[in-house]
Amino acid sequence: MQFKDIIGHEDIKAHLLHTAKENRVSHAQLFLGPEGSGSLALAVAYAQYINCENKQENDSCGVCSSCNKYQKLIHPDLHFSYPFFAKGKDEVAVTYLEEWRKAFLENPYMGLDFWRQQLDAENKQANINIAEAHHIIKKLSLKAFEAEYKVLIMWLPEFLDVQGNALLKLIEEPPAKTLFLLVAENQDRILNTIISRTQLVKVFKLEHEKVKQYLISHFAVEAQRANEIAFIADGNVQAAINLLGEEANPYFDLLIQWLRFVVTDSGLHIIRFCEDDFPKLGRENQKNFLLYAINMLRQIILIQQGLQQLVLLQGQELDFVRKFSENFSGEQLEMAIDLLEKTHYKVERNANPKILFLDLSLQLVLIFKYQTFPQGTQYI
């Protein structure tokens, strides 16, 4: 993986290159970014650059012996750790190394659900167990085979739990020329004792246009469709890839119908939606629907603030947000967005969708129902 193969993040790439050129490579770094942002790809490209035998000005050479092995993820001094679905307490991540290599090379922007699908472990609990922690200590105590640096890239250290304490001494005082690169999505779920021992590399979600162009260039998606997918994905390349199989935007009509029932306080219709329509979506589509709803409300706020040039919508979606913006205040919209974000967080943690969406709908009724509409307004 080379930096040139990664979408965007030019400032982060420049920072990483600078640390290597100035010989200021911190032995433990935390790449913190949302799913699908490319943080894992950045960590791999950084490690490849550091061990490249013929470094270029802005990237690894891509052709030396070290780069060739890194490109295939088979370098003997490159180690990976990641959540897996252990069948026994003594199982470690290397058991699934071939699956890991195949998954990353196919999709360097992968999320946990994509990784779970590669292992056919849909309903199993992922973790990084104590056996894996001990295995990391053992293999990093060995001398490097051929590279200047031994590198461990740990994806989603959030799944370490208390097992991470076994690695604290190694992270704080590693053997010479040993590099820890932790790649995380949720800082709140990482052990504070690990965070305090790492240097933070903050990775932000990708820009809309970057995701759009990636879809056009890599998947030959028509520009208008790429724009729709990029809007729904909201900077998450993994979510964008998931949406490629959809023939059209599957969420707009659903959102319109649901909001119509919410703002008119149609109780029976709301209950039907929450008992039938939302559960049928499945967890990933529920998450995508909520992100889509959040983004739509944010577009409405942009219009209210007179920032039409920043609005990413067109056609029916643009007509909708313009009409909706005339009837609700920014305060109401911000409250609704907060509720949607909290619901998204709970969906990720497998909360009961019927209860979750019913609670969300009823709280939105309380936010919107006291609004007075001009006579004859058709806002949805």
- Whether residue 240 contacts residue 221, with contact meaning beta carbons closer than 8 Å, is answered with no
Strands (E), 208-319: none
Q: Are 273 and 305 in contact (CB under 8 A)?
A: no
Look-up: residue for tokens 């030396």? 64
For position 309, what pLDDT does the model report? 77
Residue 211 has pLDDT above 60, yes or no: yes
Beta-carbon count within 10 A of 73 CB: 19
Lowest mean pLDDT among 87-96, 178-187, 363-372: 363-372
What sections of 175-247 are H helices per DSSP? 192-195, 208-219, 223-233, 237-243
pLDDT band, very low/low/confident/very high, at 370 (cuts 50, 70, 90):
low
Q: Where are the domains of the chain?
A: 3-202, 249-368
Phi, psi dihedral angles at 183 (to 5 degrees): -120, 110
Token duo for residue 41: 């790809």
- Give the Å distances, CA to CA, from 356 to 2, 259, 344, 346, 364: 42, 16, 10, 8, 12
* pTM over cut 0.75: yes
Q: What is the pLDDT of residue 122?
A: 59
pLDDT of residue 247: 65
Residue 163 has pLDDT above 90, yes or no: no
**3-202 CATH choice from 3.40.50.300, 2.40.40.20, 3.90.1150.10, 3.10.129.10:** 3.40.50.300
> Average pLDDT of 294-320?
84
- Decide: helix, strand or coil at residue 362: helix
